[in-house]
């Protein structure tokens, strides 16, 4: 596994280390919630960092194809979200579901479907012909 | 849409990576262009044609179907 050593990688590494250190300091001063959140985010960022740092910089260029993929995935993720809201509304006729209780799962569905669709269209190639 | 990018790349001794860098896109975009799985914008088509000292019609061939 070869890790890039450019300034972007170093900036990312510094951010992660800063977050983890700040999280540990906050934890020491008994701010458990904020400390744990920062440590958790730092660990999540470490996973993302290890993935991105091993890819060449050109891999992350936002060219016209990736912009189109993002737009198309966003469009379909939006309609998936609308469909979920429609199902919830129908379910609400028989049960007492509050939207605020399902807002977090809905956000996960929207973000998850957007990311999965982006990955799918990236692998598929994305034809622009109708 | 068919393209002659692969053929022209070989003639100009360019790799997909090198061509991608020249026109400012990802290598995968060149790959999908060669496979005919992606239709480029007019700007990208023009830039690619310019790299090969050709016109857009020389590089990109539109199917009649």
Predicted confidence at residue A53, as pLDDT, reads 85
- Indicate the average pLDDT of chain A: 86
Which residue out of B3, B23, B28 would a mutagenesis test of the A interface target, given it has the greatest number of A Cβ atoms within 10 Å? B28
β-strand B2-3 against B60-61: which pairing, if any?
antiparallel
> Which tokens hold the place of A38?
């920062």
Asked whether the predicted pLDDT for residue A123 surpasses 50, the reply is: yes
Report the percent of chain A where pLDDT is more than 90. Answer: 46
Q: Which residues of chain B have pLDDT under 70?
A: 64-65
* Complex prediction ipTM: 0.76
pLDDT tens readout for residues A11-32: 888 999 999 999 999 999 989 9
For residue A103, what pLDDT band results from cuts at 50, 70 and 90? Answer: confident
Asked whether the predicted pLDDT for residue A129 surpasses 60, the reply is: no
The answer to whether the CB atoms of A126 and B26 lie below 8 A apart is no
Question: What φ, ψ does residue A98 adopt, rounded to 5°?
Answer: -95, 135
CATH 2.40.50.100 fits B2-61, yes or no: no
Predicted confidence at residue A126, as pLDDT, reads 63
Residue A102's CB is within 10 A of a number of other CB atoms, namely 15
Helix runs in chain A, H state only: 7-28, 32-53, 64-92, 99-124
Residue in B26, B37, B39 closest to A63 by CB: B26
Residue in A59, A64, A122 closest to B41 by CB: A64
Q: Where are the domains of chain A?
A: 7-58, 62-124
Q: Where are the domains of chain B?
A: 2-61
Higher pLDDT, A10 or A56: A10
pLDDT tens readout for residues A69-96: 999 999 999 999 999 988 888 887 777 7
Lowest mean pLDDT among A1-10, A42-51, A72-81, A106-115: A1-10
CA distance B11 to chain A (A): 24
Instruction: Please list, in sequence order, all residues whose beta carbon lies within 8 angstroms of the beta carbon of residue A97, skipping any fewer than 6 positions away.
Output: A88, A91
The answer to whether the CB atoms of B38 and A125 lie below 8 A apart is yes
Helices B16-23 and B42-51 sit at what angle, rounded to 10 degrees? 120
For residue A130, what pLDDT band results from cuts at 50, 70 and 90? Answer: very low
Predicted confidence at residue A81, as pLDDT, reads 94
Predicted confidence at residue A128, as pLDDT, reads 55
Predicted confidence at residue A42, as pLDDT, reads 93
For residue A56, what pLDDT band results from cuts at 50, 70 and 90? Answer: confident
């Amino acid at each position: 596994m070869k890790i890039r050593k450019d300034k972007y990688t170093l900036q990312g590494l510094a951010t992660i280390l800063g977050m983890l250190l700040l999280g540990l300091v906050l934890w020491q001063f008994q701010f458990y919630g904020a400390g744990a959140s920062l440590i958790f985010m730092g660990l999540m960022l470490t996973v993302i960092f290890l993935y991105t740092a091993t890819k060449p910089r050109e891999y992350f260029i936002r060219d016209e194809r990736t912009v189109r993929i993002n737009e198309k995935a966003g469009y379909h993720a939006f309609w998936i979200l609308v469909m979920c809201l429609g199902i919830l509304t129908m379910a609400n006729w028989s049960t007492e579901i509050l939207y605020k209780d399902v807002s977090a799962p809905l956000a996960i569905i929207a973000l998850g479907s957007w990311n999965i669709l982006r990955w799918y269209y990236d692998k598929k190639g994305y034809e622009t012909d109708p | 849409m068919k393209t002659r990018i692969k053929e022209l790349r070989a003639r100009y001794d360019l790799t997909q990576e090198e061509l991608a860098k020249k026109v400012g896109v990802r290598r995968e975009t060149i790959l999908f262009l060669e496979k005919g799985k992606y239709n480029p914008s007019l700007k990208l088509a023009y830039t690619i044609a310019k790299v090969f000292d050709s016109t857009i019609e020389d590089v990109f061939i539109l199917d009649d179907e």
